[in-house]
Amino acid sequence: MKTVPVEIVTPERKVFSDDVQMVIARGGAGDLGILPGHTPLVTTLKISGVRIRLKDGSEQQVAVSGGFMEVKPDKITILAEAAELPEEIDVDRAQRARERAEARLAATGAENFDFRRAELSLQRAINRLQVAKGKELK
């Protein structure tokens, strides 16, 4: 089967780099399945798990907290605000972040409350927990 090189990078580091069979990512307009030779495109990415089908047919997930994906016929680059492999995710920390975000959302009557920020914090925490457990964010 054909493969295409994929790089997932954040401002701090390169999170993933390998030749893969396919990338499935949640773009701004919906889910995208990218195969080698795909038509060039650039899209925003939502907070989600990016699924990567490796050369051997197995799948790898990466928790991505927004960013952009650039697709060329011969390379896929994901520029993410933050990204983590499942084994890098601190599940206890993610669970605490989820609980804090849920508590903030429950207390919406507070002065200077930033609903969108709390909502995004909750999405990031849920995404990290689901990728760590091998599930996809719905």
Q: What is the mean pLDDT of residues 99-113?
A: 75
Q: In angstroms, rounded to a whole number, what is the distance separating the alpha carbons of residues 88 and 20? A: 21
Q: What is the mean pLDDT of residues 66-85?
A: 95
| CATH fourth-level superfamily of 87-132 | ATP synthase delta/epsilon subunit, C-terminal domain (1.20.5.440)
- Look at residue 136 and tell me whether its pLDDT is greater than 70: no
Q: What is the structure's pLDDT at 112?
A: 59
For the chain, where do the domains classified as CATH 2.60.15.10 start and end?
4-84
Q: Which residues pair with 80 in a beta bridge?
A: 67
- Look at residue 99 and tell me whether its pLDDT is greater than 80: yes
For the chain, where do the domains classified as CATH 1.20.5.440 start and end?
87-132
Phi-psi region of 112 (alpha: psi -120 to 50; beta: other; left: phi over 0): left
Length of the chain (residues):
138
- Does CATH place domain 4-84 in 3.30.750.24? no
pTM: 0.85
